Amino acid sequence: MDLISVAAVAENGVIGDENDDVPWDLPEDVEQYRERVADYPVILGRRTYEMYENPPGSAQIVLSRTERDWDRETAHHAGGVEDAVDLVASLGTDRAYVVGGGGIYDLFQPHLTGMALTRVPGEYEGATYYPDWDEAEWELIDTEAYDGFTVERWERKRDPR
């Protein structure tokens, strides 16, 4: 199964401010992000899910310590990584996108097979950061330039054994 994180990351690693908002305005990035994840389930934390009026993805797998009933048929509760992966498989797909927040990115980083990272120029004040990762374990597959940002696609290197 492919687990791919999608995040917009400033040069200093910031992905969100103290209000859990993105501290920049890049409508074209939001558009490409929504198009990328539209046909696949997304995995996200409860607070991130609750921020969306219209959540992305074909289904939302919401990680929370407490099981809840969500206000959408497409939303499902997961208690952890294994539970989320099982839910993705039960939806009949072999790909899901991890879309935040910060704690969810941290939790899934060791399990990711790919990353689609929007590189936002500049440094921003923030309270939430994308997790550190060892670039030696990853291969940059593609870089796409947009007006005001770039999107990098990374794949985890396969173990040659």
pTM of the model: 0.95
Q: Which long-range contacts (CB under 8 A, 24 or more apart) does 21-25 make?
A: 23/124, 23/125, 23/126, 24/120, 24/122, 24/124
> CATH number of the domain at 2-156, please?
3.40.430.10
For the segment 119-151, what is each residue's pLDDT rounded down to a tens digit? Answer: 999 999 999 999 999 999 999 999 999 999 999
Please enumerate in sequence order all residues whose Cβ is within 8 A of that of 5, keeping only pairs 6 or more positions apart, or say none: 97, 98, 99, 105, 108, 109, 112, 114, 115, 116, 117
Amino acid (1-letter code) at residue 99 = V
125 close to 14: Cβ distance less than 8 angstroms: yes
Residue 129 DSSP label:
E
For the segment 64-111, what is each residue's pLDDT rounded down to a tens digit? Answer: 999 888 889 999 999 999 999 999 999 999 999 999 999 999 999 999
